[in-house]
Amino acid sequence: MLPHAGEGHAEALCEVADRGVLPAEALQDPSARRIGERGKRLIDQRLPKDDMVAGLIDAISAAPDIADLSEKQARRRLLIWRRDRAIILALHSSGMRVSELCGLRRGNLDYAEHTAIVLGKGDRQRTIYLSDVAWQATMEYLKALETIPLFCRHDRSASDKRLALSTHAVRDLFTRLARETGIAERFNMTPHTLRHYFATRFLDHTDNLALTQEMLGHEDPRTTRIYAHPNKAKIRKAHSELFNKGREKSG
């Protein structure tokens, strides 16, 4: 049995939904509807503005200054920049979890379709789709090195070993970019908030809960519904197009 549906409980449920799995006992709880509404409000609070996301992408798109670096230092700096740019663009256009990104391997990529297979919650596989710019950025990074993990560490302690990047390192990347751009003063930008941004925009654009559920890798559609914001104008338009089509002409 779940505890009383207070704000803390709603926030905890929202955190679980954020990871893509909503516990069955939560869905069966009589207070689930109220929690779901609070969860939607929490998602709204964690949704970055368009200008914040644009600022994040602009910040990572500018190549670093390597004029005063040695050849080895310059190569490492460019590798890190190409990797970080590919990471931000991939997360932005795919909605995948940071753990799924860090688990990617070269063999997961479909070079013809510009997609990848990720292993999500419950070891469920799904296809994620990359935008053209995200795919290009990923290919530019991969051209610079041969590695099995898709995104590797390039810090000095890693030396020449091809070690997979950790989820903590990706979160640190978001923290650094948010501080550099001033976003941190307005919003707590994380990989998960970018996932919220993707989910909300994708659902708003498609009006298709099933497609959004598939893109996010949610096991239960009720988890995906936390991103839904019913729009009366859209409902009226859809209803009119379905039931009133042609009546104006015939009348």
Amino acid type, 48: P
Going by the DSSP 8-state scheme, the letter that residue 112 receives in this structure is T
Residues with a known catalytic role:
97, 121, 192, 195, 218, 227
Q: How far is CA 69 from CA 65, 154, 218, in A?
A: 9, 16, 45
Q: What is the dihedral of CA 13, 18, 22, 28, to 10 degrees?
A: 40
Q: What is the C-alpha to C-alpha distance for residues 103 and 77, in angstroms, rounded to an integer?
A: 23
Instruction: Give every CB contact of residue 113 below 8 A, 6+ residues apart in sequence.
Output: none
Going by the DSSP 8-state scheme, the letter that residue 246 receives in this structure is T
How do the domains of the chain map onto residue ranges?
A: 8-45+191-235, 50-185
CATH number belonging to domain 50-185: 1.10.443.10
pLDDT tens over the chain, length 251 residues: 344 444 344 444 444 444 444 444 444 444 444 445 555 555 556 789 999 999 999 999 999 999 999 998 998 899 999 999 999 999 999 999 999 999 999 999 999 999 999 999 888 999 999 999 999 999 999 987 766 678 988 877 776 677 889 999 999 999 999 999 999 999 999 999 999 999 999 998 998 999 999 999 999 998 898 888 777 888 888 888 888 876 655 44
Q: 191-206 and 50-61 are packed helices; what angle lies between their axes, rounded to 10 degrees? A: 120
